[in-house]
């Protein structure tokens, strides 16, 4: 099982190096999908900053959904810190077995989690299952803009293992890998690929 120090990651990475990234990605998701209300899952959301950023610019009811109980606990603290407990919650679960009913979710988002899923194809199939007809998925990994990526890389220049790990994940998960999964699952959708990230984007057909 993937492990991490949730509290350290939240403080040093999510609220540190990546602080500017989450609001930018949240706005990009909103601009692309137009989803402003209903139910949203931040899948593999860790300490929850992408889901929190979505809640801050929409009326969505957001669930931070993560495999690690430590991440869920820290996510709850971050939610309370932003005074969002009325609309944002956190619970434990895995991408390959999302504990929500069929056709019950308006938006599924995820940043950086898919690279660590045990079975990416099963996880994407689960995302499609829980989406309502017309609902959107915006899943992948990225930094919002090339400029923000450059800022993060500069901040982490003394940690060559971080860049090595990022490059390795990108090599193992090229855009055509995800396009093939969508085709095998017969899910109409596309891959948005650029220097700042790779995103799997699809809308469940009505």
Residue 68 lies in a domain: yes
Say how many C-beta atoms besides its own lie within 10 A of residue 44's C-beta: 27
CATH of the domain at 183: 3.40.50.150
User: What does the pLDDT profile of the chain (206 residues) look like in tens digits?
Assistant: 556 676 776 667 777 778 899 999 999 999 999 999 999 999 999 999 999 999 999 999 999 999 999 999 999 999 999 999 999 999 999 999 999 999 999 999 999 999 999 999 999 999 999 999 999 999 999 999 999 999 998 888 888 787 788 888 888 889 999 999 999 999 999 999 988 899 999 999 98
Residue 44 lies in a domain: yes
165 lies in which domain range? 6-203
Residue 1 lies in a domain: no
No. of H helices and E strands in the chain?
8, 7
Residue 173 lies in a domain: yes
Residue 96 lies in a domain: yes
Burial label for 123, CB within 10 Å (0-12, 13-18, 19+), is: buried
Residue 122 lies in a domain: yes
Residue 32 lies in a domain: yes
Contact 50, 18 (CB under 8 A): no
Residue 159 lies in a domain: yes
**Rounded to an integer, what distance in angstroms lies between the CA atom of residue 38 and that of residue 96?**
22
**Rounded to an integer, what distance in angstroms lies between the CA atom of residue 148 and that of residue 25?**
11
Our count of domains for the chain comes to 1
For the question of whether the overall pTM of this predicted structure is more than 0.95, the answer is: no
**Rounded to an integer, what distance in angstroms lies between the CA atom of residue 174 and that of residue 193?**
9
């Amino acid at each position: 099982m993937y492990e991490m120090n949730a509290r350290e990651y939240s403080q040093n990475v999510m609220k540190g190096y990546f602080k500017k990234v989450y609001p930018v990605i949240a706005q990009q998701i909103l601009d692309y999908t137009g989803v402003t209300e209903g139910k949203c899952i931040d899948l593999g959301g860790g300490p929850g900053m992408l889901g929190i950023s979505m809640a801050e610019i929409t009326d969505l009811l957001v669930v931070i959904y993560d495999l690690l109980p430590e991440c869920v606990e820290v996510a709850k603290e971050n939610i309370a810190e932003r005074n969002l407990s009325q609309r944002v919650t956190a619970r434990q679960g895995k991408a390959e077995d999302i504990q929500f009913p069929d056709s019950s979710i308006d938006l599924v988002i995820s940043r950086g989690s898919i690279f660590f899923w045990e079975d990416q194809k099963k996880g994407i199939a689960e995302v499609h299952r829980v989406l309502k007809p017309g609902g959107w998925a915006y899943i992948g990994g990225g930094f919002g803009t090339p400029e923000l990526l450059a800022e993060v890389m500069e901040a982490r220049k003394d940690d060559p293992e971080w860049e090595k790990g990022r490059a390795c994940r990108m090599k193992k998960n090229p855009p055509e890998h995800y396009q093939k999964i969508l085709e095998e699952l017969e899910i109409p959708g596309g891959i948005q690929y650029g220097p700042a990230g790779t995103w799997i984007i699809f809308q469940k057909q009505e």
